[in-house]
Amino acid sequence: MISSFHQLRDKFLNNKKKGLVTLVAIIITTVILSWLLFSQWEVLIKHEWNLRPLYLLLGIFVYAMILFLTILIWSKIVESLGQKIPYYQHFYSFCISALGKRLPGTLWYIAIRAQIYQGEFPAKIVTVASGIEMGVIIIAGIIVCSLFSIPIILDYQWSIAGIFFLLLIAVIALHPRFIRWVLHKVKVEQREIKYKQLVFWVSGYIIVWIFVGILLFTISNFFAATPIRHLNYFIGSTALTGVLSRLLLFSPSMFGFSEVSLSILLSTIMPSSLAVIVAVSNRIITIVFEILWALIAYFANKFFTKNILNP
């Protein structure tokens, strides 16, 4: 009984600490974004707002491309571990678990994935596959940074240390020998991950990272005309921000990191007040897209299960 009390106490304290960290992150984020927003408030007021819905429709298409490509890569990663199931099941799992990324904490989506795949294959397969996926995301993001983010990195040279640290972790995590060792430790049938598979996955995520930058560019153009010559900057900004955010993967909260980082970076090519609106809107619009696709996946899965599998 005493042991149970101590466990409950420790759990309460841990939750309290996580809540405190999240609260601090919210306060810091609010202060920084407010300063960026109000520092050029007059520019924002005088700006001639002319919303362009066509770019929002383009953003919907770009997000769909991102979604279907990431699900395809995820399905290939899972398949490489000996678990081949229909694409529609991956589609359902991916769309539903994506909402878990918006919960306080950082790894809820893995737990949701494991719950959805329950009965199809063990949770430890989901965990290993998610680890491989993260390594692929990081390496692909660093490659995109090397193509589009060099001027930004030179302005923020402290980011170099974070990039090299993440690169080291990702290279180790994706080494076929390390993957075999992990599979052995979790008592899963060992599979040979080939380098050509890794190249395919990384290449796919390079395209995904580029599309993520294009998505931000379309959202920016929804609010104000943004010259096409800045597209490279948008891709580089999203890639660098996305890669560095992985440094906070095991922290209690990642709240506000992307919004603040993108606001600061975009303020070099547009008024800081407008940069804040674009960065925050990017998060809000992305969440709306995620909810819509989760609903589509839910009803599609329900229809498929009822009418195809169990007619």
Q: pLDDT by residue (tens digit) across 250-297?
A: 555 555 677 788 888 998 988 888 888 888 888 888 888 988 998 898
* Cα-Cα-Cα-Cα dihedral sign, residues 56, 106, 244, 40: positive
What is the per-residue pLDDT across 98-145, written as a single tens digit (0 to 9) for each? 877 766 555 677 888 888 888 777 788 888 898 999 999 999 999 999
Cβ count near 4 (within 10 Å): 8
Pairwise CA distance, residues 22 & 256, whole Å: 10
Cβ count near 155 (within 10 Å): 11
Residues in the chain: 311
Long-range contacts of 57-60 (CB under 8 A, 24+ apart): 58/218, 59/215, 59/218, 59/219, 59/222, 59/285, 60/289
What is the per-residue pLDDT across 62-104, written as a single tens digit (0 to 9) for each? 999 999 999 999 999 998 888 888 888 889 888 888 877 766 5
Please tell me the predicted confidence (pLDDT) of residue 256: 63
Cβ count near 229 (within 10 Å): 8
Helices 257-266 & 272-304 angle (0-180, nearest 10) = 130
Element at 90 (helix H, strand E): helix 87-98
In the numeric block, the tokens 């580089």 are attached to 236
Full-model pTM: 0.82
What is the per-residue pLDDT across 24-65, written as a single tens digit (0 to 9) for each? 545 654 555 555 555 545 545 555 667 788 999 999 999 999
Pairwise CA distance, residues 186 & 207, whole Å: 32
